[in-house]
Amino acid sequence: MSPLAGFLIVAALLFSIGLAGALTRRNAILVLIGIELMLNAANLNLIAFWRYGPHPEALTGMMFAIFSIAVAAAEAAVGLGLVIQIHRHAHTTDIDAMNRMKG
């Protein structure tokens, strides 16, 4: 098995662990943690393909990963701000309890 396949398997595993966390946990913050893990798995995929791909000097994979890191940080900030505001309103972060549109 080539090194690239190893990195891709690790990224796939990381992605599914993040997905499992986002789908099975009750706390809204843990859903966001799962999302961050999924984004990181995608970054690992990008960098692995950049390294072992045909034209690493074009820097495409690395640039994509760097922009992805920046966007993920922005999304984490907004998402966590939303969770804090929801907690202030509903006094809970349990997403199973927030199953009605009425506030």
Distance in angstroms (rounded) separating the CA atoms of residues 22 and 4? 27
Binding mask 37-56 for other proteins (x = CB under 8 A): x--x--xx--xx-xxxxx-x
The minimum distance between CB 54 and other proteins, in angstroms, equals: 8
Q: What is the DSSP code string of 28-90?
A: HHHHHHHHHHHHHHHHHHHHHHHHHSS-GGG-HHHHHHHHHHHHHHHHHHHHHHHHHHHHHHH
Task: Tell me: does residue 98 bind other proteins (CB under 8 A).
Answer: no
Task: Identify the bridge partners of residue 27 per DSSP, sorted by sequence position.
Answer: 94
Min dist CB 70 to other proteins, Å, is 5
- Residue 102 CB, nearest distance to other proteins (Å)? 19
33 scored as a contact of other proteins (CB under 8 A): yes
Q: Give the list of residues 6+ apart from residue 4 with CB closer than 8 angstroms, or none.
A: 48, 49, 51, 52
Interaction of residue 72 with other proteins, rule CB under 8 A: yes
Pick between residue 4 and residue 102 the one whose CB is nearest to other proteins. Answer: 4
Q: Residue 53 Cβ, how far from other proteins at the closest point, in Å?
A: 8
